[in-house]
A and B are shown apart, each in its own frame.
Chain A
């Protein structure tokens, strides 16, 4: 089954404790992104990757890191989480299908930073 997976689905942590949210897709998509969802703001892009070893900042990159060492994986790293990073996080992947670039989303990771 074609899908984007994220782990963990739920995470409660404390300020300053480094964490990684994993993302993996099995569709051989070139493009991958991370978004965060906050009430009243919709989803906002954190980082994106156009291919292996190619990443760039989105609209809200502060406090986050990413890497793309393999095509299928795109982990999101919070080196020193803070309470304002409490949010619902989505990983997404896409490809140039008919020029549409539809993004397919993972199930989401709900992060709480105390």
Chain B
């Protein structure tokens, strides 16, 4: 079964608008972490934002915020005020708990390609 599901293979958004990239996850662990990475066309993986399963508040980093809904097992990335440089592939990933051996591994979704139009 897929542990990380990103249902949007591609998205586009107008410059300066907000966009939400969906991510749902599946784990039986109580302690886990959720990450979003950005991969521009140059190929590198850039860490954007992290949400721990016990964090009570949604994580924010500049224009990025993570809409964490634990009961629904979703961890959507919200990018506010999109910029042309936000055009990239975005990956949602999960680190499971220690007893799942998870702290050494990220489980990735298939990614969402975002295109920002001027």
A interface, CB within 8 angstroms of B: 31, 33, 35, 40-45, 48, 50, 56, 58-59, 88, 90, 92, 94, 96, 99-105, 107-108, 110
- In the complex, B118 has a CB within 8 A of chain A: no
Q: Is the CB of A48 within 8 A of B50?
A: no
Q: Is the CB of B109 within 8 A of A42?
A: yes
Q: Is the CB of A43 within 8 A of B91?
A: yes
**Interchain CB contact (< 8 A) of A101 among B44, B103, B109, B110:** B103
User: B43 — nearest CB in chain A belongs to which residue?
Assistant: A108
Assess A102 versus B108: contact at CB under 8 Å? Given A88-B43, A110-B43: no
Assess A102 versus B44: contact at CB under 8 Å? Given A42-B91, A42-B109: no
Q: Is the CB of B106 within 8 A of A41?
A: no
User: A9 — nearest CB in chain B belongs to which residue?
Assistant: B43
Assess A45 versus B105: contact at CB under 8 Å? Given A100-B33, A105-B45: yes
B interface, CB within 8 angstroms of A: 4, 33, 35, 37, 43-45, 47, 50, 52, 91, 93, 95, 103-106, 108-111
- The smallest beta-carbon distance between B63 and chain A, in angstroms, is 19
User: B45 — nearest CB in chain A belongs to which residue?
Assistant: A105
Q: Is the CB of A42 within 8 A of B111?
A: yes
Query: Which A-B residue pairs are the 10 nearest by beta carbons?
Result: A42-B108, A105-B45, A43-B108, A48-B104, A108-B43, A101-B103, A45-B105, A42-B110, A107-B44, A40-B110
- Once bound together, how far apart are the Cα atoms of A71 and B55, in whole Å? 32
- Once bound together, how far apart are the Cα atoms of A43 and B50, in whole Å? 18
User: A32 — nearest CB in chain B belongs to which residue?
Assistant: B104
- The smallest beta-carbon distance between A52 and chain B, in angstroms, is 15
Q: Is the CB of A31 within 8 A of B110?
A: no
- Once bound together, how far apart are the Cα atoms of A101 and B93, in whole Å? 12
- Once bound together, how far apart are the Cα atoms of A59 and B108, in whole Å? 12
